[in-house]
Structure 1
Amino acid sequence: MFRYYSTRRNLLALALATVCGSAGAADKGAAPEMPSWPTKPLRIVVGFPPGSSPDLTARTFAEPLAQALGQPVIVENKVGAGGNIGADAVARARDGHTIGLFINGNLTIARLLNPRLPYDPDKDLAPLSLVGVSPLVLAAPVGLGDATSDARAFLQAARQAGNRWSYGTPGVGTVGHLGTELLKARTGMAPVHIPYPGYPQVATAMLGGQLQMALLPPALAQAQERAGKLRLLGVTSAGRSALVPHVPSLAEAGVRDFQLEIWNAFAAPAAMPAPVRARLSALISEIARSPEVRAKLFQQGWQAVGSSSEGLANRMRADTAAMGRVIREQAIRAE
């Protein structure tokens, strides 16, 4: 399916050699040319459980990356702390063959809420590529009955329920957490936050009656909607999304000044040699834009991007500033 990556691999290898050779010619004191890379399997660390949205994205890229690099690509799940345990493992990696698939919270929000975060996204991680973006979907269990007839009815029921209702997220400081706190401020409802290891566990808790609401990724939300177990009430994008075209935006339900988007991206340890990072960035961006992977990402609930490393760095800065404003305005603190 990804035969053209063989040609792509050769071109990138040639480009890499040219860059390294030019650098050496320009600086007589430069170190010898970097040896061939990769020399062993590439490891993609994911900070969420198998079957989670980040895990599925990482595995979507694993096969074409393996074909392009000529080495196996292994996805390793290091779960906990809203993905920050996995992020820290990537930041500390020194083997030259480890990268990570991150949600935006790990690269933007985490540092704003946790002054003791063991890694610094700016200093310890190097952006590779923004690969997918998506709104979240406000979902509720069908067992709530008439309260789930539409978003307006649900928000009214939530206001009346006060803190007797609960909502779940993949952890403190994730986009789902900050987004729901902002939604609470915009609508006057007051559900209690309960963190879980990942979105699949949030959905399971909703089906079991432990939660009354959550902001879920579109693919997971629609799967449970098709099973007749969840109602999808509104998307967090400014307007309707192509990922869930039948679901109105929350703005249509009268929610003002509320817009939210999640994304996932690849980043490498800052210690990884720059030429290797450049090669991986180019490969990942190309793969994300391929028709096959674009289709797979769409099925998983993502609109493919495939940015440059600079594009991801710019998005990180913009979102850090935006989420910082939300945290200050709502006086949000790590639990």
Structure 2
Amino acid sequence: MHRTQRRFVIAAAIALACATSSVFAQATWPSQPIKLVVGFPAGSSPDLMARTLAEPLAQALGQPVVVENRAGAGGNIAAASVARADDDHTLGLMINGNLTIAKILNPATTYDPLTDLTPVSLIAVAPLVLTAPMSAPADGAAFLAAARQAGDRWNYGTPGVGTVAHLGMELIKSRAGISPVHVPYTGNPQVITAMISEQVQLALLPPGLAMAQVRGGKLRAIGVTSAGRSSVVPEVPTLTEAGVRNLQLEIWNAVAAPNSLPKAHVKRLSALLVEIVRRPDVREKILAQGWQVTGTSPEGLANRIRVDTAAMSDVILRNGIQAK
């Protein structure tokens, strides 16, 4: 055999061996239970989402999917543990901040979401609802006009500095030309109590919390923060309809993995999750939890991370916001 031919045959054999090895490795993965880490306690919204995904994902992968709750620091403790995992069998069910602004908001955060984690799939989204006391104008445009006239005599409540409700309201302030003063509370229940008693005049709340009060006749829903009307609360108009331009603010849940997880596994996981969340029964479960199903490719989630990071980073830096 000619030397050139021999080299070609050897190279082809090596390529075939590598391809076979790769296919075999993909076919035998996962080889042990998958750990799905959640940064919030049992019964929380992210926990419920993780448990909704766990059983169908386990059936698709042929291995158990075990939900592990590691609460603390707004989910960043769990996200850091996922970023450090090197077993190829650890994933995270995370919220916006864990995958976007964690390091910008708090430089002491022990992982960098942009370099230490790899996007798998954006699972579901929901708008926030701008809510107000019952004494407020019901019409969105009239409410914003009243807010502009009130200036800093109005207050807005949030469950804390650096939360999406805080950052989102600062974004709305810049887009709507209003200037209420931030009053942080220890949680949304306290924000709701303060708004009912008119200690604060507006707040951004998750749909589940907001609409329970609205339907009970205790608060008004002024508008949602998504670009278009949401299937989660289709009866509530958008703030865009009230005249707020260039606004798209949503809370979301996503699955991410350590940056070390092989891309073939990431791609497979993403495809399975997209198929799972789009099943009618799973979609209905997620909608009942207050979320609108998305289900995206890794690239789709990566793009959402980039867009949201840019928007929220601008709010953080412009207002000098830092969370501890």
TM-score normalised by structure 1 residue count: 0.77
Find the counterpart in structure 2 of residue 209 from structure 1: 194
Per-residue Cα deviation, 1:217-249 (whole angstroms, up to 9, x for no partner):
223322343344443221112343332122122
Give secondary structure in 1 for the equivalent of 2:252. Answer: strand
- CA gap of 1:165–1:319, structure 2 versus 1, over 3 A, is closer
Return 5+ residue gaps in structure 2 as ranges. Answer: 1-13
CA RMSD between the two structures = 3.2
Q: Which amino acid aligns with 1:222?
A: M
Shift of 1:195: 6.0
Instruction: State how far apart, in whole Å, the 1-side matches of 2:138 and 2:184 are.
Output: 24
Instruction: State how far apart, in whole Å, the 1-side matches of 2:19 and 2:27 are.
Output: 18
* 2:131–2:205 Cα contact (<8 Å) kept: yes
Find the counterpart in structure 2 of residue 331 from structure 1: 319
| Within-5 A mapping of 1:62-81 | 62-81=54-73
Instruction: State how far apart, in whole Å, the 1-side matches of 2:191 and 2:151 are.
Output: 16
Find the counterpart in structure 2 of residue 272 from structure 1: 261
Aligned mate of 1:310, from 287, 299, 305: 299
Aligned mate of 1:122, from 114, 128, 146: 114
Instruction: State how far apart, in whole Å, the 2-side matches of 1:27 and 1:63 are.
Output: 31
2:279 paired with 1:290: yes
Instruction: State how far apart, in whole Å, the 2-side matches of 1:161 and 1:82 are.
Output: 31
Find the counterpart in structure 1 of residue 252 from structure 2: 263
Instruction: State how far apart, in whole Å, the 1-side matches of 2:15 and 2:286 are.
Output: 37
Q: Which amino acid aligns with 2:278?
A: R
Instruction: State how far apart, in whole Å, the 2-side matches of 1:215 and 1:23 are.
Output: 56
Shift of 1:265: 0.9
Shift of 1:150: 4.2
Shift of 1:117: 2.2
Number of positions where the alignment pairs a residue of Structure 1 with one of Structure 2: 304
Find the counterpart in structure 2 of residue 240 from structure 1: 229
* Structure showing greater Rg: 2
Find the counterpart in structure 1 of residue 51 from structure 2: 59
Shift of 1:275: 3.6
- CA gap of 1:229–1:122, structure 2 versus 1, over 3 A, is same
Instruction: State how far apart, in whole Å, the 1-side matches of 2:203 and 2:141 are.
Output: 16
| Within-5 A mapping of 1:47-196 | 47-140=39-132, 144-147=133-136, 149-152=138-141, 154-155=143-144, 156=146, 160=150, 162=152, 165-169=155-159, 172-185=161-174, 186-194=176-184, 196=186
Q: Which amino acid aligns with 2:75?
A: G
Instruction: State how far apart, in whole Å, the 2-side matches of 1:28 and 1:293 are.
Output: 35
Give secondary structure in 1 for the equivalent of 2:158. Answer: strand
Instruction: State how far apart, in whole Å, the 1-side matches of 2:294 and 2:71 are.
Output: 26
Instruction: State how far apart, in whole Å, the 1-side matches of 2:278 and 2:118 are.
Output: 21
Instruction: State how far apart, in whole Å, the 2-side matches of 1:324 and 1:108 are.
Output: 9
Shift of 1:176: 2.6
* 2:155–2:183 Cα contact (<8 Å) kept: no
Shift of 1:118: 0.9
Instruction: State how far apart, in whole Å, the 1-side matches of 2:276 and 2:260 are.
Output: 24
Find the counterpart in structure 2 of residue 10 from structure 1: none
- CA gap of 1:331–1:189, structure 2 versus 1, over 3 A, is closer
Return 5+ residue gaps in structure 1 as ranges. Answer: 1-21
Find the counterpart in structure 1 of residue 34 from structure 2: 42
Per-residue Cα deviation, 1:10-43 (whole angstroms, up to 9, x for no partner):
xxxxxxxxxxxx976247999x947833344322
Shift of 1:85: 1.7
